[in-house]
């Protein structure tokens, strides 16, 4: 799938994120699913026909990664982001950019060394600051996806902000990246990464519902969309029911 198509998809997802789904169903179908009933605002009228499904816990996925590792970028851009676009209702994603970095306490300030050098440390820091300052996953993930899918991860921050988070001030992010705030936030990422059990021995390192196994990791990297659909214990969203969606998008 091309980067441009993904970007368009992201834009569509973001712009559509706030609006209600459209009610373009014939009357005979209005009570045929809870989702349609909500879209058409006839939940009350439909309760006799349809019981609201029990909400289930979202499938949680934690990604421990570093900004320039090719396999990390590949997973984020070709699996995680497109799956999230389709299944964000039933997923809870945590990103921890740090990976195989090392830290040292140099007179009270943390110094970081990254596997792919200084640019990777900068990329990790930018993404960490984006998460802190944009707060909502829906707001920062498209920016991080945009950076990771671009030719140069760190050079594209301004362009990616302009497209995906135009209200955000570049200066605010830069201040975090170069200041004490970013330093503290990255130390926290180091602590989270060092606390992994079992400890990570490669990146990307994936936890599914808090657990890491080789099998879960392999499945996530090869067929994340299917895995999330299968693991979700609540009523499957339409994207999961429509077998075509997966082959079309992934």
Query: Is 183 among the residues that bind ligand NAG (CB under 6 A)?
Result: no
- Binding piece for ligand NAG, criterion CB under 6 A, among 6-14, 104-112, 131-139, 157-165: 104-112
Within 8 A by CB and 6+ apart from 190, the residues are 98, 101, 103, 110, 112
Number of residues near ligand NAG (by CB under 6 A):
8
Q: Which parts of 45-64 interact with ligand NAG (CB under 6 A)?
A: 57-58, 60
Query: Smallest distance, Å, CB 202 to ligand NAG?
Result: 22
| 59-65 and 205-208 strand pairing | antiparallel
107 binds ligand NAG (CB under 6 A): yes
Q: Which of 70, 108, 166, 244 binds ligand NAG (CB under 6 A)?
A: 108
Q: Is 155 in the site for ligand NAG (CB under 6 A)?
A: no
List the beta bridge partners of residue 103. 112
The pattern of x and - marking residues 68 through 97 that bind ligand NAG according to CB under 6 A reads ------------------------x-x---
- Compare residues 34 and 110 and give the one whose CB is closer to ligand NAG: 110
What phi, psi does 103 have (nearest 5°)? -130, 155
**Minimum CB distance to ligand NAG smaller for 68 or for 224:** 224
Q: Are 79 and 48 in contact (CB under 8 A)?
A: no
Would the CA dihedral through 4, 121, 60, 38 be positive or negative? negative
Q: How far is CA 241 from CA 91, 112, 130, 208, 227, in A?
A: 16, 45, 34, 22, 13
* Site of interaction with ligand NAG (CB under 6 A): 57-58, 60, 92, 94, 105, 107-108
């Amino acid at each position: 799938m091309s980067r441009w198509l993904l970007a368009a998809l992201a834009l569509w997802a973001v712009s559509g994120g706030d609006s209600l789904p459209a009610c373009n169903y014939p009357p005979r179908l209005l009570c045929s699913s809870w989702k349609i009933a909500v879209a058409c605002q006839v939940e009350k009228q439909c309760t006799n026909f349809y019981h609201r499904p029990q909400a289930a816990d979202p499938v949680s996925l934690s990604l421990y990664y570093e900004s320039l590792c090719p396999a990390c970028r590949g997973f984020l851009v070709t699996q995680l982001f497109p799956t999230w676009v389709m299944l964000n209702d039933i997923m809870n994603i945590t990103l921890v950019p740090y990976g195989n970095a090392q830290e040292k306490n140099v007179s009270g300030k943390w110094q970081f060394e990254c596997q792919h050098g200084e640019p990777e440390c900068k990329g990790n820091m930018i993404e960490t600051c984006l998460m802190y300052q944009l707060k909502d996953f829906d707001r920062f993930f498209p920016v991080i996806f945009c950076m990771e899918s671009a030719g140069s991860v760190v050079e594209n921050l301004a362009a990616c902000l302009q497209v995906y988070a135009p209200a955000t001030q570049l200066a605010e992010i830069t201040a975090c990246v170069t200041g004490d705030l970013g330093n503290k936030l990255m130390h926290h990422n180091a602590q989270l990464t060092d606390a992994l059990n079992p400890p990570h021995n490669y990146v990307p390192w994936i936890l599914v519902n808090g657990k890491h196994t080789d099998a879960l990791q392999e499945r996530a990297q090869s067929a994340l969309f299917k895995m999330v659909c299968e693991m979700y214990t609540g009523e499957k969203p339409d994207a999961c029911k429509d077998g075509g969606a997966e082959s079309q998008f992934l």
